[in-house]
Amino acid sequence: MKICVVGGGLSGLVSALELAGTHQVDLFERKPVPGGCLGSYRIGDYWIEEYYHHCFAGDAALLDLFDALQVADRLVWLRGSTGYYVDGTIHPLTTPTEILRYPHLTLMEKARLGLLTLRSRRFDVQALDGITAKDFILDNLGSGVYSSFFEPLLKSKFGDRAGEVSAAWLISRIAIRSDRGAGGERLGYLKGGFRHFVARLEEEATRRGASIVPDTPVEEIRREGDGWVVDGKSYDAVVSTLPPQVTADLAGLDIARIPYQAPPA
């Protein structure tokens, strides 16, 4: 099949890598350098990530890809450190002991929080999709845990949409980030930055036959017969990695408009 991949972020590059070899693949990326949210900019000899980036010990698919693309030797595991700034004091919250010492939760609230963390991997997260994280925490852990612990975190990540975030996201996040021993959480970084990983994805997808075309924003996707036309070129299938509403607008499709927060273009 002739397949067009729209967007050269991680999803687009991995799609191109998986499809190339068995299909004829063109990938179009709007920016001069692929990477998307995982992109980097250059200063002298260095590539600097545009946003903070690390991986977790439980990111099995990503770690397999690091091995397959021979970037695993760049992986270093560092201890992350977290603190809460309350009324002029920074309270370290990296290790379980520090969490136990945190003065803005009662012992009972800490016990409930600990229990939820332990149970987080066993939840049916799909069943939580229709419940907000706020309601879930208020119902299960009480208002103190919400206002002193989760609300500031949700607000700093999601701004004025913090109250709309799903409990499915929060519980999945707790499950992935609760994998910490007595010393705290281990976070994986690539020496020299994630640019090396993005470059290896590009290189390997290209070696398998994909054509990766930067600096080329897709402007129109339209149905024609059994196939699709992307900016005048015919394809059997299109993989769009853009937000659903952007894809809907480009392709004139009726796709549910999912609320979406994105970094500045």
Chain positions contacting ligand FAD, by CB under 6 A:
6-12, 28-31, 36-38, 51-55, 217-218, 241-242, 263
The residue among 28 and 136 lying less far from ligand FAD, judged by its C-beta, is 28
In whole angstroms, the minimum distance from the beta carbon of 214 to ligand FAD comes to 9
CB of 218 to ligand FAD, least distance (A): 4
Closest CB 12 distance from ligand FAD, rounded Å: 5
Q: State the nearest-atom distance from the C-beta of 55 to ligand FAD, in Å.
A: 6
**Token pair 């980036």 in the structure block, residue:** 53
Smallest distance, ligand FAD to C-beta of residue 193, A: 12
CA-to-CA separations, 56 to 66, 113, 177, 252, in angstroms, rounded? 13, 21, 8, 38
Residue with smaller CB distance to ligand FAD, 72 or 138: 72
Q: Which residue, 1 or 37, is less far from ligand FAD as judged by CB?
A: 37
- Shortest Cβ 34–ligand FAD spacing (Å): 6
Q: Please, which residue, 12 or 184, has the CB nearer to ligand FAD?
A: 12
For ligand FAD, the closer of residues 17 and 145 by Cβ is 17
Specify the residue, 40 or 241, whose C-beta has the smaller distance to ligand FAD: 241
